[in-house]
Amino acid sequence: MSAKFAWGAPSTENIPSEGSRGFLERWTQTKAEINPPGSSSFGSPHEAILLLRNFEASGRGWFWATDAHGLITYISAPVIALLNKDPAEILGQPFLRLFCGIENGLGQRTLPFILTKQSKFDDLPLQAASDGDEIWWSVSGKPFRDKAGNFAGFRGSGTDITKMRRSAEDNSKLATYDSLTGLLNRFRMSKLLETTLSAFKLQKRSCAVILIDLDRFKHVNDTLGHPAGDALLKQVAERLVKTIGDREKISRLGGDEFQICLPDMEDRTALADLAERIIASLSQPYSVDGSRCIIGASAGIAVSPFDGQLSEDLIRNADLALYAAKGGGRGRFRFYSSELLQAAEDRRILEDDLRDALAKGQMWISYQPVVDSKTNIVSGFEALLRWNHPERGPISPALFIPIAEEANLIGAIGEWALQQACEQAVKWPGKLKVAVNVSPSQFSMGTLPKIIESALATSGLSPARLELEITEGVFLEESADTDSMFAALKKIGVRLALDDFGTGYSSLGYLKNAPFDRIKIDQSFVRGATEPGSRNGAIIAAIVALANALNMQTTAEGIETLDQLDLIRSLGVSHIQGYVYSRSVDNESLLERCAAGEWVIMPAGPAVQRSERFSMYRKIRAVHDNHRYEVVLRNLSVSGALIEGIYDVPVGTKFVLELGDGQLVIATTVRSAACQQGVMFEERLVSDGDHGLCTNRRASPYMLAAVGLTAASSAQGSYSVVDSDQQPPGIPAFSTMGNLKVV
């Protein structure tokens, strides 16, 4: 029997108002309407009542009826029991009270509207007003009239669709959420980002995207298995939720990649702070099935509309920024800039050139002195790898070392550097030591001890004069192989130094077992240590005390100013590296300066630390009033810059410097000599996450277009240095530029 028919009561004893006589009269009338004379009979009313009672008891459906005022005159007994109510609490009450959230209804046809219009309705999904578990019904109803044709109420039926609805919700969740972490999946995040950017474009609002990639996650899968990797990803997701504060802004794209969508966020100081907190949080140790795991994270950041107004452009640029962050040493973040597009191509070309650099004799070793802090006597040198590209000139190790590691070239290059350093150091006078860097990938090679023994044997260098500098990255695996490698190296007799201490995945626990002879204090602790309120001095003092307790020497890196030197000496650091003593020198210069047996260097340099300056030759634009000038940016710091290209600029002149990518900074000329001007910024620049600088905020493409500018970067490249003693040909005087007006 179809549940769409409104039969009334299944038994005469359950009828509260009409009684059995009224029910039988309605049954006879309904039977006559549905089964007219000449058709087959439905049987007796008693049989129909029994069938209806059995149907209700089966739980496959239920029936209801109301009077003309919408008050319940009948409802199946199982429904009353399901709602945990007494019949008196339901019978005679408004039918609408059976449901919650009916104001949402189905489209625009809400249940109150339907009942008011006395309209028939079928399969309307409604949530029951239940105090217990969530219950959903599919409800149908049809109005009926009395003999006089007056509206008398509704009769209808209902079926339980709770399981069906939960199943649909589960399927919907599987389609839009990551089944492992519960975060949004790639599809849902893609739709969310597209919708957000589309709406924000009209409203001229910003939206930031952060892409996150876990470092060394593959090692967890390989060593502990995929179940452990899955457990780790769940913990990563929870840490992200805790840091961001909103699960609906985070997605797992797949594997160990995550994406964060941050509407109305463009402040790069806030974004940088958030990225650093994310990286710091994800880099803390994890406990997975009783095993201690340490991974890292890198992040790339792009912001609309500056870095793209379409979702595919924004994601591509954030991905380029992420790639640059990973290439810069991992465990860091990077903002997107238009230069990254060219940098990606340059990186590919450099990798090809790097494969032939050794064979073509383009690499050499430079040595930076390590000086005794008390006597100013050089005790040894750190070997620094250099690459002199035939076309591009010197290439920074910060650029080509990550390329070598990613391209699996670091093993061959590192072996060559070790052999070269040993062969040159054996000819140095006295007992000068040479320190050679060993990357984590080299350290994990089982052949490293044999390579070191071979280099020592062929060169004749004493093992005690060779010091291997090893970063904290070698402790990430914390395996028996790590302990075995340390034992093998100490058996050879070489010295071991813990490099860049405090900047990686520090754990004081491994210092108990790792046989280090020296701790090197990273320059990031030295930088800013003399500024008021800095805690770096206290950190350095703690590192020195720790080293002394473990009978280790200490070396502070990156000392450039006399006030830094005084502080480092007062804190008891035993050895010093930095420009305050000397830049690195080639082997010939080293031999010349050590010819007398000792090289004593007297410290020299700026009295106090000043903002770090980045030397460059980059074409930018300077805007003054309604005039625009093409100038060359010679150096840049957080507080100012040196520009070149305009002759005879008065001190006090204000410019708006257009640094590219919508970066505008107001600058005042504080020094002027011929065609060079030193300018001071009104607002300090901030870190771009990769040892560079950028503005805190950017002008949107809409604002730039309004004043006739574009967000595209100026042309990049190297430019010849002009002679500042006289006005160079082609460089205009400041007062004659009226013809270059901003349109």
**pTM above the 0.85 mark?**
no
User: Would you say residue 10 has pLDDT above 50?
Assistant: no
Q: Which residue type, as a one-letter code, is found at position 274?
A: L
DSSP letters spanning 623-664: EETTEEEEEEEEEE-SSEEEEES-BSPPTT-EEEEEEETTEE
Read off the DSSP letter of residue 94.
B
Interval 423-436 mean pLDDT: 94
User: Would you say residue 300 has pLDDT above 80?
Assistant: yes
Identify the pLDDT of residue 221.
83
pLDDT tens-digit profile of 375-400?
A: 999 999 999 999 999 988 888 888 88
Identify the pLDDT of residue 385.
95
Confidence of residue 603 (pLDDT cuts 50, 70, 90): very high
Identify the pLDDT of residue 573.
96
pLDDT tens-digit profile of 547-558?
A: 999 999 999 999
Q: Based on the number of CB atoms within 10 Å of its own CB, is 229 exposed (0-12), middle (13-18) or buried (19 or more)? A: buried
Interval 590-615 mean pLDDT: 84
User: Would you say residue 596 has pLDDT above 90?
Assistant: no
SS3 content of the chain, % helix, strand, coil (to 5): 35, 25, 35
Confidence of residue 171 (pLDDT cuts 50, 70, 90): low
CB 505 within 8 A of CB 498: no
Share the mean pLDDT of the chain: 82
Beta-sheet strand order (sheet of 207-215): 250-254, 257-263, 207-215, 296-304, 333-335
Report the distance separating Cα 571 and Cα 538, nearest Å. Answer: 9
H or E element at residue 435: strand 433-438
Report the distance separating Cα 634 and Cα 87, nearest Å. Answer: 87
H or E element at residue 73: strand 72-75
Identify the pLDDT of residue 13.
39
CB 105 within 8 A of CB 75: no
Which of 2-6, 23-27, 203-207 is the most confident on average? 203-207
Angle at the Cα of 106 from the Cα atoms of 105 and 108, rounded to 5 degrees: 85
Confidence of residue 602 (pLDDT cuts 50, 70, 90): very high
User: Would you say residue 23 has pLDDT above 60?
Assistant: no
Confidence of residue 360 (pLDDT cuts 50, 70, 90): very high
Identify the pLDDT of residue 102.
63
Confidence of residue 372 (pLDDT cuts 50, 70, 90): very high
For 382, list phi and psi in degrees, rounded to 5. -95, 125
Identify the pLDDT of residue 174.
64
Residue with tokens 């002879």: 517
Identify the pLDDT of residue 647.
83
User: Would you say residue 568 has pLDDT above 50?
Assistant: yes
pLDDT tens-digit profile of 582-594?
A: 999 999 999 999 9
Confidence of residue 440 (pLDDT cuts 50, 70, 90): confident
pLDDT exceeding 90 applies to what percent of the chain?
A: 41
Identify the pLDDT of residue 730.
47
User: Would you say residue 19 has pLDDT above 80?
Assistant: no
Sequence-distant (≥ 6) Cβ neighbours of residue 391 within 8 angstroms:
none
Token pair in block for residue 444: 């994990």
Identify the pLDDT of residue 150.
92
Identify the pLDDT of residue 40.
47
Token pair in block for residue 513: 């077992």
Token pair in block for residue 146: 């009395």
Identify the pLDDT of residue 319.
93
Token pair in block for residue 742: 């901003």
Confidence of residue 364 (pLDDT cuts 50, 70, 90): very high
Nearest in space to 466 (alpha carbons), one of 450, 448, 452: 452
Confidence of residue 97 (pLDDT cuts 50, 70, 90): confident
Identify the pLDDT of residue 610.
66
CB atoms closer than 10 angstroms to residue 698: 23
Top pLDDT among 562 and 168 is at 562
What the chain holds in terms of domains, given with CATH numbers, is 12-166 (3.30.450.20), 177-337 (3.30.70.270), 357-593 (3.20.20.450), 614-736 (2.40.10)
User: Would you say residue 66 has pLDDT above 80?
Assistant: yes
Interval 473-478 mean pLDDT: 64
Residue with tokens 């739709």: 191
User: Would you say residue 457 has pLDDT above 90?
Assistant: yes
Helices and strands in the chain, H and E counts: 22, 30
pLDDT tens-digit profile of 477-528?
A: 556 678 889 999 999 999 999 987 766 555 566 676 678 999 999 888 887 7
Confidence of residue 235 (pLDDT cuts 50, 70, 90): very high
Could you tell me how many residues make up the chain?
A: 743
Identify the pLDDT of residue 476.
60
Residue with tokens 């650093």: 276
User: Would you say residue 230 has pLDDT above 60?
Assistant: yes
Confidence of residue 711 (pLDDT cuts 50, 70, 90): very low
Lowest mean pLDDT among 506-510, 594-598, 683-687: 506-510
For 127, list phi and psi in degrees, rounded to 5. -95, 130
User: Would you say residue 198 has pLDDT above 80?
Assistant: yes
CB 365 within 8 A of CB 419: no
User: Would you say residue 11 has pLDDT above 70?
Assistant: no
H or E element at residue 250: strand 250-254
Q: Is 116 helix (H, G, I), strand (E, B) or coil?
A: helix
Identify the pLDDT of residue 16.
40
Identify the pLDDT of residue 712.
46
CA 457 to chain CA mean position, Å: 47
Read off the DSSP letter of residue 40.
P
Identify any residues that bridge with 658 across adjacent strands, giving them in sequence order: 621, 664
End-to-end CA distance of the chain: 80
Interval 645-652 mean pLDDT: 88
Identify the pLDDT of residue 370.
97
Confidence of residue 337 (pLDDT cuts 50, 70, 90): confident
Interval 157-182 mean pLDDT: 80
Cα atoms in the Cβ-side hemisphere of radius 13 Å centred on 581:
29
User: Would you say residue 437 has pLDDT above 60?
Assistant: yes
Confidence of residue 643 (pLDDT cuts 50, 70, 90): very high
Lowest mean pLDDT among 260-264, 647-651, 708-712: 708-712
Confidence of residue 729 (pLDDT cuts 50, 70, 90): very low
